[in-house]
């Protein structure tokens, strides 16, 4: 073949090689950024509760321990701080596993109605503290069988309901519904009439550590991991998650699941 063609091929090959290498380096750079970002966020999230716990312990050591009027109160607060740390570490563990794809889903058929009732029972007290009513259309007396990892789906529903309580108004309502969607799909909706989310935040809601109010002014604990965990779990199931929200009106988070026909 003429030399020129060879030269052309060679140049193309070199170009391609250089491009591949560049892509490789770019990917490494992005990963490195991601890692730094992740570590930065983790230490930031852990710092606040750690300093809080440290503060109470120091106050107790400083003499408050002997003061029967306050010692129990401070110990309880320190314990709450530790509890919060445990939640954050558990969420971090889960998100890490989900992000490296290290989490095996144990899919089986289960009754989604039963699961919703369980989650309601677990969160009843939390909702009652804010006088929030959890409602579920009891017309669904019959079981609806879906295919999924029931523990993970329970986590999804719990995170969504906990959020609806955290960001809900006193005396508000959260409603859960299950509807048939096209073909073998159901859609589960969690709707609240709480504070809602303004439009500009919606595209970033499912990012890990993303919180609308970063100032921490609000008295609602959270690490900004809840929704990213939800999204990972639903996507690992091959399903979809949606959000619709309006500030001062409320929010609706919904996700799909595969429905299995009832067997006798
Ligand atoms: P966290 O609740 O720990 O901050 P999430 O990932 O669960 O983290 O949620 C991210 C953010 O989305 C929250 O900080 C909150 O601002 C907003 N958000 C989530 N759910 C709701 C809801 N039901 N109503 C209003 N805002 C919400």
Q: What SS3 class is residue 226?
A: helix
Residue of 165, 217, 227 with the most ligand 1 atoms within 8 Å of its CB, for mutation? 227
For residue 7, what pLDDT is reported? Answer: 77
Q: Distances in Å between the alpha carbon of 19 and those of 13, 26, 33, 38, 58?
A: 10, 10, 21, 28, 57
Q: Is the CB of 251 under 6 A from ligand 1?
A: yes
Grouped pLDDT means (10 residues each) for the chain, 264 residues = 69 85 82 79 87 95 92 94 90 87 89 95 96 84 92 97 96 95 91 95 91 63 87 95 96 97 64
pLDDT at 39 (0 to 100): 83
Q: What ranges make up the beta strands (E) of the chain?
A: 108-111, 133-136, 145-148, 173-180, 185-192, 241-246, 250-259
Q: Whose CA is nearest to atom 20 of ligand 1?
A: 163
The pLDDT value recorded for residue 167 is 95
Confidence (pLDDT) at 220: 65
Give me the pLDDT at residue 2, please: 54
Distance 141 CA to ligand 1 centre (A): 31
The answer to whether residues 233 and 95 touch, using CB atoms and an 8 Å cutoff, is no
Query: What are the structure tokens assigned to 53, written together?
Result: 């716990």
What is the reported pLDDT for 245?
97
**pLDDT attached to residue 139:** 63
pLDDT for residue 1: 52
pLDDT, residue 203, reads 93
How confident is the model at residue 110, as a pLDDT? Answer: 97
Its sign, for the CA torsion 251, 156, 49, 77, is: positive
Distance (angstroms) between ligand 1 centre and the Cα of 36 equals: 24
From the CA of 210, give the closest atom in ligand 1: 10
């Amino acid at each position: 073949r003429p030399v020129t063609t060879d030269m052309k091929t060679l140049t193309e090959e070199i170009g391609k090689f250089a491009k591949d290498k560049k892509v490789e380096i770019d990917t490494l750079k992005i990963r490195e950024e991601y890692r730094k970002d992740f570590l930065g966020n983790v230490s930031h999230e852990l710092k606040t509760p750690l300093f809080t716990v440290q503060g109470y312990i120091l106050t107790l050591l400083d003499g408050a321990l002997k003061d029967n009027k306050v010692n129990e109160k401070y110990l309880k607060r320190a314990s709450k701080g530790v509890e919060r740390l445990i939640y954050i570490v558990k969420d971090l563990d889960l998100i890490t596993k989900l992000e490296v794809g290290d989490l095996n889903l144990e899919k089986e058929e289960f009754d989604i109605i039963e699961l919703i009732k369980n989650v309601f029972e677990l969160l009843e007290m939390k909702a009652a503290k804010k006088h929030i009513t959890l409602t579920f259309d009891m017309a669904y007396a019959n079981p609806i069988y879906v295919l999924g990892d029931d523990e993970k789906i329970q986590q999804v529903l719990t995170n969504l309901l906990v959020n609806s309580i955290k960001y809900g108004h006193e005396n508000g309502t959260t409603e859960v519904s299950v509807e048939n969607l096209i073909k073998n799909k159901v859609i589960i909706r969690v709707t609240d009439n709480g504070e809602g989310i303004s439009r500009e935040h919606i595209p970033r809601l499912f990012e890990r550590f993303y919180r609308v109010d970063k100032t921490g002014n609000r008295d609602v604990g959270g690490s900004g991991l809840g929704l990213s965990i939800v999204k990972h779990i639903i996507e690992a199931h091959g399903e979809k998650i949606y959000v619709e929200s309006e500030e001062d009106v409320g929010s609706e988070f919904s996700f799909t699941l595969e429905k299995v026909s009832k067997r006798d």
